[in-house]
Amino acid sequence: MSSQPIRASLDKRPDEVATMFDDVASRYDLMNDLMTLGQTPRWRRIVFDAVGAVPGQRVLDLAAGTGTSSEPYADAGIDVVACDFSLGMLKVGKRRRPDIDFVAGDAMNLPFADDSFDAVTISYGLRNVNDPKKALAEMLRVTKPGGRVVVAEFSRPTNRLFRQVYLEYIMRWFPVLAAKASSNPDAYTYLAESIRAWPDQNELAHWLQGAGWSEVKYRNINGGIVAVHRGVKPAPADGADAR
Ligand SMILES: C[S@@+](CC[C@H](N)C(=O)[O-])C[C@H]1O[C@@H](n2cnc3c(N)ncnc32)[C@H](O)[C@@H]1O
């Protein structure tokens, strides 16, 4: 853990991002609930339903942090791997949920074999990855043909007036709330800036398609504060190399 609080810059250098999350790990879940005004359990349920996994299937929860996004799968008896590159977040997660399989790994170079998961999901993590398109391609590589991807990420409210109010809320109030409750308030200025700079729903859908995902669709939640994107890994064409 660093002695000086770290706030990652918007170029998202992996070492800065990992250190920043190490720094906020101990109060991460509390801050999440505070800043989303208690919406996270509902958002997680929507993601779980979109993944549609059943016992016997293997799910990768990427950028899993403290594993809160992995819990619904473990609770449903689904084999879930919680992967993240912040050792601080993983440590808090393992302490809280020793039954979950936590793995240290970088989304841009996943430590898993090709075609090894029935579904891959990432909640509020892709925005923090230095090269999100590379991560989407890695997610495709480790998913079995016919398997699913589900990406939950902060997005762009569709109503212009609501969007203005919301941006005002995150830019002005995230840092104020964080100053009261977080171990690293600066990290929440990064959070607000990174949400504002993130592509909208349609552009993210194009990124998924560009990485090779098919049947890409998305659903807005809370007027587009969050969007949940889905896709399917195409099965190899008849006669093609099975890889
Ligand atoms: C906002 S947290 C989300 C945690 C969890 N998925 C949730 O919904 O609460 C974002 C996570 O992304 C992780 N992360 C960012 N870039 C990463 C990368 N390249 N590889 C793995 N994890 C990464 C951070 O370490 C952090 O734990």
Task: Summarize pLDDT for 226-235 with one digit per residue, the tens.
Answer: 999 999 999 9
Q: Which of 3, 60, 1, 65 is nearest to 29 (CA)?
A: 65
Q: Which of 203, 223, 221 is nearest to 162 (CA)?
A: 223
CA distances from 42 to 29, 89, 214, 228, 235 (A): 15, 22, 26, 13, 32
Instruction: Detail the DSSP E strand segments found in 110-200.
Output: 117-123, 143-154
Read off the tokens for 183: 């171990």
Mean pLDDT to the nearest integer, 25-31: 85
CB-based contacts of 17, cutoff 8 Å, min separation 6: 8, 86, 128, 130
Q: Is the pTM of this model over 0.85?
A: yes
Task: Summarize pLDDT for 65-112 with one digit per residue, the tens.
Answer: 999 999 999 999 999 999 999 999 999 999 999 999 999 999 999 999
Four-CA torsion 210, 214, 217, 218, nearest 10 degrees: -50
59 φ/ψ sector (left φ>0, alpha ψ -120 to 50, else beta): beta
Q: Please, what are the domains in the chain?
A: 14-232 (3.40.50.150)
Read off the tokens for 40: 């996270």
Answer whether residue 149 shows pLDDT above 70: yes
CB-based contacts of 91, cutoff 8 Å, min separation 6: 25
Mutate to test the pocket of ligand 1, among 24, 45, 84, 150 (most ligand atoms within 8 A of CB): 84
Mean pLDDT to the nearest integer, 121-145: 98
CB-based contacts of 234, cutoff 8 Å, min separation 6: 145, 212, 214
214 Cα–ligand 1 center, Å: 24
Residues with CB under 6 A from ligand 1: 14, 17-18, 21, 63-65, 68-69, 84-86, 89, 106-108, 123-125, 128-129
Binding-site residue numbers for S-adenosyl-L-methionine are: 66, 84, 106-107, 123
> CA 140 to CA 213: how far, in whole Å?
7
SS3 content of the chain, % helix, strand, coil (to 5): 45, 20, 35
Give the range among 36-40, 71-75, 89-93, 236-240 with minimum mean pLDDT. 236-240
Answer whether residue 2 shows pLDDT above 60: no
Q: Which atom of ligand 1 is nearest to the CA of 29?
A: 9
